[in-house]
Structure 1
Amino acid sequence: MRIPKLASAFIFVGCVVAYLTYVKWHFDGIKPALHKALNYVPITDYGDSNEPAREEADSRHFQYGIMFDAGSTGTRIHVFKFLLKEHEAPKLAHETFRAIKPGLSAYADDPDKCREGIQELLMVAKESIPVLLWEKTPLVLKATAGLRLLPGEKATHLLDKVRNVFEESPFLSRPDGVSIMDGTDEGVSAWITVNFLIGSLHGSGQPTVGMLDLGGGSTQITFSTQDEKTIQTSPFDDITSFQMFNSTHTLYAHSYLGLGLMSARLAILGGIEGEAYGNQELVSPCLSPQFTGQWEHAEVQYIVKGQKAGEPMYESCYKKVEKVLYNKIKKAEEVKNMDFYAFSYYYDRAVDISAIDEETGGTIEVNNYIDSAKRVCSNMEITPGEHPFLCLDLTYLSLLLQELGFPKEKVLKLARKINGAETSWALGATFHYLESLRRQ
């Protein structure tokens, strides 16, 4: 008997549906067992109704680290979330940031008062990290300029109070996790941050980059040295080696205390750090002859005035800067052939002269700083303009770079963020601490 064509089509479709139903039933039956065998936990959006599942996934695939940055003007918490993959370097998945004022040093005479602020920031960490991982998450505080300047006993009492609060927390806290950070450590940590963010620490074979930071009180230069001569001729404290992601890195790292932009500005103007009482008057050829104003540095108020010299403003200012830097900088020959990132006031002054975009950064030649210094100083012989210190700052910055060993045609990269992450030393310091824990 012949089967009509329409009936044949229905029979064929029915067979296909039956087959697909069987396949789906069979696959659904083996999928849980397969996932269990592979120790697989899907990393997806679990929703509020399945918080334990989210925390279990986090405990398998993520590592957290908590870094307190105790600076002179405030205390900041960074909660870093790292994605872990087998046989690969960790990747930064997320950063939670919060800041409070004043800095720890404000409680030097009453250390107990720092407790409330520290506990407030610890609540941020508790809200950001799954409970299952609290006891495995290292908790660290690094203090910088504010505590460095305190008398030793007062700084010690403050840090002891922080340790007490940390020990009461549910996180992994050790005595060495609370300390004062020196300028060299800041440079090394910032170097780690930058090179991690650009991917040169991930075993890709990509060369590392150097790091320049120009703060208010000090300036740092850090790079991975490849020349044995640099290691042999440098002071012992300038060379540091450490392991990270199964590689050993040997760095040249030097911090020049007193050569940050604000401290150098004071010296160029003729002032002496810590020796001013009341309203001290400073007169300088690095300021427009028509300028008179006030400037505050290290909680001291200065009256500053311009002075007309017998030669062009740039030349007279250059000589002042030259005296301040004389015999204080060690040239590093290797930097000529190495890529460098520059931060802080290098970035800010490049924005002031419209060399880079304020939000996205960019690149700049040392020559750009030099030419801008000459142009700005020349214009300021007529009028102070909106930035009365710009001639001084640019002249200092351009000469500092040359003294460090950078040729005039050297191109520097300027960035506040790399791949969306802040270029803070906190990330590098957290990595360094996590690595030290793994090796113990």
Structure 2
Amino acid sequence: MCCNKSVVTRNGFLLNLGKTAACALHSKKMRIPKLASVFLILAGLVAYLTYVKWPAFSKPPYYHSTTDSRSDDDPKQNSPNLSADRFQYGIMFDAGSTGTRIHIFKFLLEENEAPRLSHETFKAIKPGLSAYADNPDKCREGIKELLDVAKESVPGSLWNSTPLVLKATAGLRLLPGEKATQLLDKVREVFGESPFLSRGDSVSIMDGTDEGISAWLTVNFLIGSLHGSDMTTVGMLDMGGGSTQITFSPQDEKTIQTSPIDYITSLKMFNSTHTLYSHSYLGLGLMSARLAILGGIEGQPLEGSQELVSPCLAPDFTDHWEHAEVVYTVKGQKAGEPIYESCYNKVEKALYRKVKKAEEVKEMSFYAFSYYYDRAVDIDVIDEKTGGVIAVRQYTEAAKKVCNSMVEEQPKHPFLCLDLTYISVLLQELGFPQDKVLKLARKINDVETSWALGATFHYIESLSRH
């Protein structure tokens, strides 16, 4: 007696194969008339054309099955009985304050595992979207230029199923709401004209906490911590110009219970659920913190000949400094008490009760990026290209050395004393002791350690849920 056979695909789709020649031959004891033999031959031919000559099942729009070495016309390529490389593409635009960058990711999908990054194509253009705030139409040319790079990188047959996303960060956060909306609407128009998969949520301003979570995903994916349930994840510290983020997966229930409710979130990725402690401190990025320590107020120009005078600058230093399109006159303060102690007091005051300490971070491994990295390069603790490690006390010791030497000589950078003092104090306020060692990297396995990769994963995962 014939049987019905079913195959369940990796994406949960059920494929009913029906009554085939294989089923008819299930019992060798059956006697088969000649007419039945003819029927079996015809049925076998139909089964071959249906399930071998053409694809056995359809994929959702975020899933692709292709190979680099075989053509699309090869019938063997789509046979469910033969192995084939499965690739998936994702396009992420990072619209920052100084430029717009495109990341085109090619992922290799493997059975019951997190995807592997097969290749990344990257290009950046300047200026950032915010430069076109008063003439949004002018942003079209740059977006189209980057989309041409995507067309060259993604096979044409996959254009309409490759997700296209733009996330804007600090540059657009600082713009008045109406101007930011007009720019984003213009990008949506260009995306809608492109051949790639674009939805209503494809263009948006990124929340600071999401930026931290996406960077955490990037780092842990690149070091392999998301490729197995028993892997230990690492924490992430990032410091931009306007905000700074901390994200880690707490192992101590006390951390979850004692933290503010909006610091704790749950993230499902690659069939695993992660509980994360993540917070973005708006206004505590290095440039915004500089302004606060110098005595200025965000977005408020100084009046007339007013100056910002600070002990964190060399006593004989005077210059102009631009932040968020406002130009300030800044000046060093004549030395009274030692410069480092004076600067330290200013930094402590600027950070007073603004940071939540997480005791658990003492015991965890952490990566640190952006200005943490740049200032470590400035004091020759790490190599600019390869990165390295740094202990919190090295920031502190370098701050003391740079600050106290400014009486005799100008530092390498006029704000180096202030920046190093701020970073060292901030890390301690976050819960990192002086002997804590941080890993510093711009790239892991030749891939940029930005939030873009993690945000691409997160977006593709949202497609799968819908």
Greater CA deviation, 369-378 or 180-189? Answer: 369-378
Give the counterpart letter for 2:133 in structure 1.
A
Tell me the secondary structure at the aligned position of residue 307 of structure 2. Answer: strand
Q: How far is the alpha carbon of 1:280 from its aligned partner?
A: 4.2
Quote the residue 2:149 is aligned against. 124
Give the counterpart letter for 1:313 in structure 2.
I
Within the candidate set 143, 156, 174, 2:168 is matched to: 143
Residue 276 (1) aligns with residue 301 (2): yes
Within the candidate set 213, 216, 232, 1:207 is matched to: 232
Contact 1:282 1:302 in 2 (8 A): yes
Quote the residue 1:292 is aligned against. 318
Quote the residue 2:461 is aligned against. 435
Quote the residue 1:229 is aligned against. 254
Quote the residue 1:12 is aligned against. none
Q: How far is the alpha carbon of 1:52 from its aligned partner?
A: 6.7
Sort the Cα spacing of 1:52 and 1:150 in 2 relative to 1 into closer, same or farther, 3 A.
farther
Residue 350 (1) aligns with residue 376 (2): yes
Quote the residue 2:434 is aligned against. 408
Q: Which string of whole-angstrom CA distances, capped at 9 and with x for unpartnered residues, describes residues 285-326 of structure 1?
A: 111213222222222222222213321111111111110001
Residue 83 (1) aligns with residue 127 (2): no
Greater CA deviation, 236-245 or 182-191? Answer: 236-245
Higher-helix-fraction structure = 1
Q: Which string of whole-angstrom CA distances, capped at 9 and with x for unpartnered residues, describes residues 121-148 of structure 1?
A: 1111111001121121111110111111
Quote the residue 2:33 is aligned against. none
Q: How far is the alpha carbon of 1:43 from its aligned partner?
A: 5.0
Tell me the secondary structure at the aligned position of residue 301 of structure 1. Answer: strand
Contact 1:241 1:248 in 2 (8 A): yes
Q: How far is the alpha carbon of 1:204 from its aligned partner?
A: 5.8
Count of matched residue positions in the alignment of Structure 1 and Structure 2: 398
Spell out structure 1 runs of 4+ moving beyond 3 A: 41-46, 50-53, 277-280
Matched residues in 2 for 1:156 and 1:237: separation?
A: 26
Within the candidate set 331, 338, 341, 2:357 is matched to: 331
Contact 2:66 2:85 in 1 (8 A): no
Q: How do residues 34-433 of structure 1 correspond to structure 2 at under 5 angstroms?
A: 43=67, 61-203=86-228, 205-277=230-302, 280-433=306-459
Q: How far is the alpha carbon of 1:42 from its aligned partner?
A: 9.7
Give the counterpart letter for 1:429 in structure 2.
A
Matched residues in 1 for 2:393 and 2:344: separation?
A: 15
Contact 2:402 2:411 in 1 (8 A): no
Matched residues in 2 for 1:423 and 1:237: separation?
A: 25
Sort the Cα spacing of 1:389 and 1:109 in 2 relative to 1 into closer, same or farther, 3 A.
closer
Matched residues in 1 for 2:400 and 2:464: separation?
A: 52
Contact 1:166 1:173 in 2 (8 A): yes
Matched residues in 1 for 2:101 and 2:390: separation?
A: 31
User: Normalization by structure 1: what TM-score?
Assistant: 0.86
Contact 1:288 1:382 in 2 (8 A): no
Tell me the secondary structure at the aligned position of residue 208 of structure 1. Answer: coil
Contact 2:85 2:108 in 1 (8 A): no
Identity %, equivalent residues: 76
Q: Which string of whole-angstrom CA distances, capped at 9 and with x for unpartnered residues, describes residues 364-406 of structure 1?
A: 1001111111111121121123222111111111000000000
Matched residues in 2 for 1:420 and 1:116: separation?
A: 29
Sort the Cα spacing of 1:292 and 1:156 in 2 relative to 1 into closer, same or farther, 3 A.
closer
Tell me the secondary structure at the aligned position of residue 156 of structure 1. Answer: helix
Contact 1:290 1:383 in 2 (8 A): no
Contact 2:229 2:272 in 1 (8 A): no
Q: Which runs of 5+ in 2 are unaligned?
A: 1-51, 56-64, 79-83
Contact 2:134 2:179 in 1 (8 A): yes
Matched residues in 2 for 1:199 and 1:409: separation?
A: 26
Contact 2:93 2:100 in 1 (8 A): yes
Give the counterpart letter for 1:430 in structure 2.
T
Matched residues in 2 for 1:148 and 1:263: separation?
A: 13
Q: How far is the alpha carbon of 1:153 from its aligned partner?
A: 2.1
Contact 1:280 1:301 in 2 (8 A): no
Give the counterpart letter for 2:326 in structure 1.
V
Tell me the secondary structure at the aligned position of residue 213 of structure 2. Answer: helix
Q: Which runs of 5+ in 1 are unaligned?
A: 1-35
Matched residues in 2 for 1:42 and 1:172: separation?
A: 18
Tell me the secondary structure at the aligned position of residue 64 of structure 1. Answer: strand
Matched residues in 2 for 1:279 and 1:114: separation?
A: 36
Contact 1:279 1:302 in 2 (8 A): no
